Chain A
Amino acid sequence: AQRVTQPEKLLSVFKGAPVELKCNYSYSGSPELFWYVQYSRQRLQLLLRHISRESIKGFTADLNKGETSFHLKKPFAQEEDSAMYYCALKNNAGNMLTFGGGTRLMVKP
């Protein structure tokens, strides 16, 4: 069975500080990992996925198969980064996504 764990429900940092949102997964095959973000009063939207190996809004995430992790990082947090962040896994048997419980990021001025 596949599982995604986001150990922190809430992460609070000051503007300009580095931020790391943790995500661990369990899946026996080769997963595809995503980060979705939901800003206040907006819909869930794709932030980035590991196969793209891109940086979006200054965020990056590296898939570490040894540690089964896909942590989301940004070196300098901005107030507009405050949102709910969800890590998700798609297996290679189908298209369904398995989501973590989400982490609320609060960036204080």
Chain B
Amino acid sequence: KQEVTQIPAALSVPEGENLVLNCSFTDSAIYNLQWFRQDPGKGLTSLLLIQSSQREQTSGRLNASLDKSSGRSTLYIAASQPGDSATYLCAVVAHDYKLSFGAGTTVTVRA
């Protein structure tokens, strides 16, 4: 059974600081890994998808890396802003086609 862990569970930083969010998974036989953002009481917004053959993906201030062999992914958010405050979730897709999620990292960016 795939287990996904996110560390830390919560993070508070001053505006402008870079954010580093970690995700680990136990079964490296994955198709891809996705990072999502969730605002309070809302659904999930897809941020980045990294295919199993890729090492990283970038979108604006976001960069996600993937080390499939060690079961790790890292999401970097450069120059954080108060609008980046949200919960960030990582999820992997394996042979069973379903998303297996971590519990998320709740980020607060202080103005």
Q: Are both chains from one complex?
A: no
A→B interface (CB under 8 Å): none
